[in-house]
A and B are shown apart, each in its own frame.
Chain A
Amino acid sequence: MIPGPFHYHRPTSVAEAVALLAAHGDDARPLAGGHSLIPMMKLRMAVPDHLVDLAAIPDLKGICEDGDRIVIGATTTQREVIGSDLLAARLPILAETARQIADPQIRTKGTFGGNVANGDPGNDMPALMQCLDAVYRLAGPDGSRTVPARDYYQGAYFTALEPGELLTAVEIPVPPAGHGYAYEKLKRKVGDYATAAAAVVLTLDGGTVATASIALTNVASTPLHAAAASALVIGTGLDAATLKAAADAAKAITDPATDGRGTAEYRREMAGVMVARALAKAMRRAKGA
């Protein structure tokens, strides 16, 4: 399978990239790791005339700390996310999630920004970004703006990104030291997208949950921030009844499709199991067990 013909651009600055994207509008696409875009081009599900490769733009790369936030450049690879000492210390859930994406080859090329910008409900990072209440920095012909991850996804492959815009970085508020976290992902086969997955970050006050945030991957046409489920675990010790209630509340907002990974009923059920297991694991971690 070979993609159709396209023009290839390799800008060296964000401004140049944005200019190219703006000039070609709907006919242009940013190219990052290519591990979602190129397969889609081979299948003719995407037929861009212009590819704007982001690889030669130094400003888009890297992970840094900015006060109480961590900022990850768009073309930072998933492998770099896994290898980052800073993230390991402050946001270990990122590496835990990245390790469950595809396989080492894909993680070596695939970028963090491509994963969140893409809009494929199967991508793992978007739900995690919603869980962490991250904010996306977008650059466009009219300047820069920010969009919260929780508002970015509108439907499968439909996002708040406008033609001509580029995602330059993601800002993630760092949860307090000692927070509990877990990304639980069920796969049909090794390296697959999620049958269902859940991200949880929580903090404790004594033995009870002080703050909690839950989000879900691949059980609807967009990632889902499970606000009701998150709210109902606060103030509890995550007893069995609460875990079940949270799982039920999360299941209630899912709308999975029947596919090769299982029936809709199965996938909804699994979303609940993932939530319960991620909550329990996050709790154990918060307690330092």
Chain B
Amino acid sequence: MNAPALSAVIGQPVSRVDGPAKVTGTARYAAEFVPDGLAYASVVSATIPRGRIRALDTSAAEGMPGVLAVVSHRNAPKLPYLERDQRPPVDPKSGDQLRMFQDDKVLFNGQPVAVVIADSQQEADAAARCIGIAYDETEPTTTFDPGRGRPPSEETAKGGRPGAAGRGDGAAGLAEAATTVDVTYVQAREHHNAIEPHATIAQWDGDSLTLYDKSQWVQNVVVEIAHVFGIEAGKIRVISPFVGGAFGSALRTWPHVTIAAIAAKMTGRPVRVELSRRQLYHSVGFRPHTLQRVRLGAAPDGRLTAILQDAAAQVATYEEYAETTLQPAETTYSCPNVATAYRLVEMDTNSPCPMRGPGIVTGLYALEAAMDELAVALNVDPVALRLKNHADINEKTGLPWSSKALKACYETAAERFGWADRIAAPRSMRIGTDLVGYGMATAIYHADRAPAEAEVILFANGTAVVRTAASDMGPGTYTSITQIAADELGLPVEAIRFELGDSTLPMAPVHGGSITLVSVGSAVAEACAAVRQKLEALTGEGSIAERLRANGLDRLAASAKASPGEETKRYASSAFGAVFVEVRVDEGLGTLRVKRMTGAYDVGRVINPKIARSQCIGGMMGGLGMALMEAAEWDPRFGKVMNANLAEYLVPVCADTPALDVTFVPSEDTVLNPLGAKGLAEIAICGVAPAIANAVFHATGRRQRHIPIRPEDLIGT
């Protein structure tokens, strides 16, 4: 392993460059822009799970103070909703997206059916409550019945979510195994619940449209809205400088963006649509409820002979969102026989969508919980079992890893955690009256990279601006990319301003899937190199400022595009990790507390250890929520999430936070990208929930095969 090149800024724990703006409130989020004449929208949601709107009485609402317009399928413009040549990676590959106010159909409870626009939010909300709607209901499908599961469509399968996949002969591998487990796991529907609600402000100027939007991909919003309205992409600008958390909910362009644009068109005013917390549960996506069956077979020495993993996930009726749930079964361990089966269960619900670690975190939950059950059946240490089945190459593709330091992750994390103190038998560790459990799991998340462009401008006052249409939903992109530019330009971090979140800036890929740093960072590094070359071509010497001034220049700019190349055909890339957890269980109450968590991660070169740690502890807490708290309470009578608020949908808070220990093992991946990084976001939530579930078994001796695990599950017999 080569030691990373020494740098004054890369690898330094630089504090967030956007931190002061955020804590002083000057950072402007989508809903906070106030164009002249801003009007406010209130979206009216359907209250039945399926049927048609028979009658819509808007007369009372229209007469209310401040009301500018009430828009529904009766008066909304007919929109072309043109099909895109190629669907963006953030959209489902088949089915039809929800169309706003184009007909009288209701496809799920909560679907937008009308919007009121008024001079104030209060007036809009008041009028929205006065709209009378009569429905013709049809028999809805609101239960999750895996028997109705169907394989994904051909388009979805082609997009990497096939109905069946694997290698070797799963059944034969199972038949030859000396030890097998056959277990079923349930994972609840989860919602992103970022602090910032989704919001869009739309402003038309003639036929040009400006959108202030909460988005993880501003340039995709442009293309999407251009197709919805049948207008030129060049006429649309999307602005999103700050995003208050998203976790995947702002990857797609949701219907409320279209609603804002329709409302602004119809009123001739800029219009703001800000979804309420309750509306977020049915207006954007969620992590789908998923049922999985895992069968593992192992030889007496612990070597896996078969991995069979089946998953059934809920899906909307109108659109086919599918996940890479079963990919970990193919990539995490070495095993000659792997068979996966993926099914979708249609329900009258809004469409699910990616949520941090989409698919992988779900599949890994079941796989890693089953591996723990196998370790118990084989009577071997869970870490030893994983080491025994270490995947030296990616056996799904047959390609070598571009880098892999997973063994170091197990070793480092086990050491820091004190795994050696674990008494293997369940129920054998206690502190006071509490049962103590230790559990662990593997983390894996594929490392990808996409083409990106960036522009760098040097100024004669010694500062520089870096520009690209990326987003920063909170992971620290503003800071890490600034560090990369500072390093390349030899300037202090304070001398660089990074501009992002504007669709008119150079092309950037989606801010998701942990690809931003390696994709955008590589482009920025190249643009910096390009501008340095230009600088070197100038006469004179000294600092950047001195050189520019010596040549009578007040600025010098260069752009670059950086793309992944042939290496993606020769190597498989992935981030890895190992998560260890201690839980305490009060058996009298069933209460369960995570006492501490240790994660060791192989994420390539760490650009900023401070924000990298923040990413990891955030992911750990997301995993804690998934394991013990987060669940949509779905009422099949209404086809509705009943706990659509932050009082009843539990998320972990500071008081639930255990001691969190994060380390990064030495790693550098210059195959994936010249920076040597691998991307660090999804990996941090992977493996956490199964590590907790496994610790709960170790503490109590009782297997909980569902998440979240609740106190009432742990009492009685």
Contacts and interface: CB of A to CB of B under 8 A. Distances in A.
The answer to whether A and B assemble together is yes
A195 B586 CA distance: 15
B122 A2 contact: yes
Interface in B103-127: 122
Contacts of A262: 710-712
Contacts of B122: 2
18 contacts: A2-B122, A188-B650, A189-B650, A189-B653, A190-B653, A195-B711, A260-B633, A260-B643, A260-B648, A260-B650, A262-B710, A262-B712, A263-B712, A265-B712, A266-B712, A266-B715, A269-B716, A270-B589
Contacts of A190: 653, 655-656
B711 A266 contact: yes
Given A189-B629, A189-B656, A269-B715, 15 more contacts: A2-B122, A189-B650, A189-B653, A190-B656, A195-B711, A260-B633, A260-B648, A262-B710, A262-B712, A263-B712, A265-B712, A266-B590, A266-B712, A266-B715, A273-B588
8 smallest CB-CB distances across A and B, nearest first, come from A266-B712, A190-B655, A273-B588, A260-B648, A262-B712, A189-B650, A263-B712, A186-B589
Interface in B702-717: 710-712, 715-716
Interface string B639-653: 000010000101001
B591 interface: yes
A277 interface: yes
Contacts of A265: 712
Contacts of B715: 266, 269
A273 B589 CA distance: 7
Contacts of A270: 589
Contacts of A2: 122
A263 B710 CA distance: 11
A262 B648 CA distance: 12
Interface string B647-679: 010100101100000000000000000000000
A208 to B, nearest CB: 25
Interface string A246-287: 000000000000001011011001100100010000000000
Interface in B126-167: none
A270 B590 CA distance: 9
Nearest to B715: A269
B120 to A, nearest CB: 11
Interface in A187-213: 188-190, 195
A274 B246 CA distance: 40
A220 to B, nearest CB: 19
A268 B391 CA distance: 49
A269 B715 CA distance: 9
Contact of A186 (B591, B656, B710): B591
B711 A277 contact: no
A195 B643 CA distance: 17
Interface residues of B, number: 18
Contacts of B633: 260
A205 B170 CA distance: 71
Contacts of A186: 589, 591
Contacts of A188: 650, 711
A186 B588 CA distance: 11
Nearest to B650: A189
B530 to A, nearest CB: 53
Nearest to B590: A266
A178 to B, nearest CB: 27
Contacts of A189: 629, 650, 653, 656
Contacts of B643: 260
A189 B649 CA distance: 11
A151 to B, nearest CB: 32
Contacts of B591: 186
A187 B653 CA distance: 14
Contacts of B590: 266
B189 to A, nearest CB: 15
Contacts of B711: 188, 195, 262, 266
Interface string A21-52: 00000000000000000000000000000000
A17 B633 CA distance: 44
Nearest to A277: B588
A198 B712 CA distance: 19
Contacts of B629: 189
A270 B122 CA distance: 43
Contacts of A273: 588-589
Interface in B249-283: none
Nearest to A276: B588
A89 B200 CA distance: 58
Nearest to A195: B711
B594 to A, nearest CB: 14
Contacts of A277: 588
Contacts of A266: 590, 711-712, 715
Most chain A CB neighbours (cut-off 10 Å) among B122, B643, B656, B712: B712
A60 to B, nearest CB: 30
A179 to B, nearest CB: 25
Contacts of B716: 269
Nearest to B710: A262
A202 to B, nearest CB: 20
A186 B591 CA distance: 9
Nearest to B649: A260
Nearest to B653: A190
A270 B586 CA distance: 12
A140 to B, nearest CB: 35
Interface string B601-633: 000000000000000000000000000010001
Most chain A CB neighbours (cut-off 10 Å) among B588, B643, B656: B588
A66 to B, nearest CB: 39
A270 B710 CA distance: 14
A88 to B, nearest CB: 25
A167 B335 CA distance: 73
Nearest to B643: A260
Interface in B531-582: none
A277 B589 CA distance: 11
Contacts of B588: 273, 277
A195 to B, nearest CB: 8
A265 B717 CA distance: 13
Contacts of B712: 262-263, 265-266
A188 B656 CA distance: 11
B573 to A, nearest CB: 39
B631 to A, nearest CB: 10
Most chain A CB neighbours (cut-off 10 Å) among B590, B633, B643, B653: B590
A260 B644 CA distance: 12
Contacts of B653: 189-190
Nearest to B712: A266
A11 B590 CA distance: 49
Nearest to A270: B589
A17 B629 CA distance: 45
Most chain A CB neighbours (cut-off 10 Å) among B589, B633, B655: B589
Interface string A158-191: 0000000000000000000000000000101110
Contacts of B656: 189-190
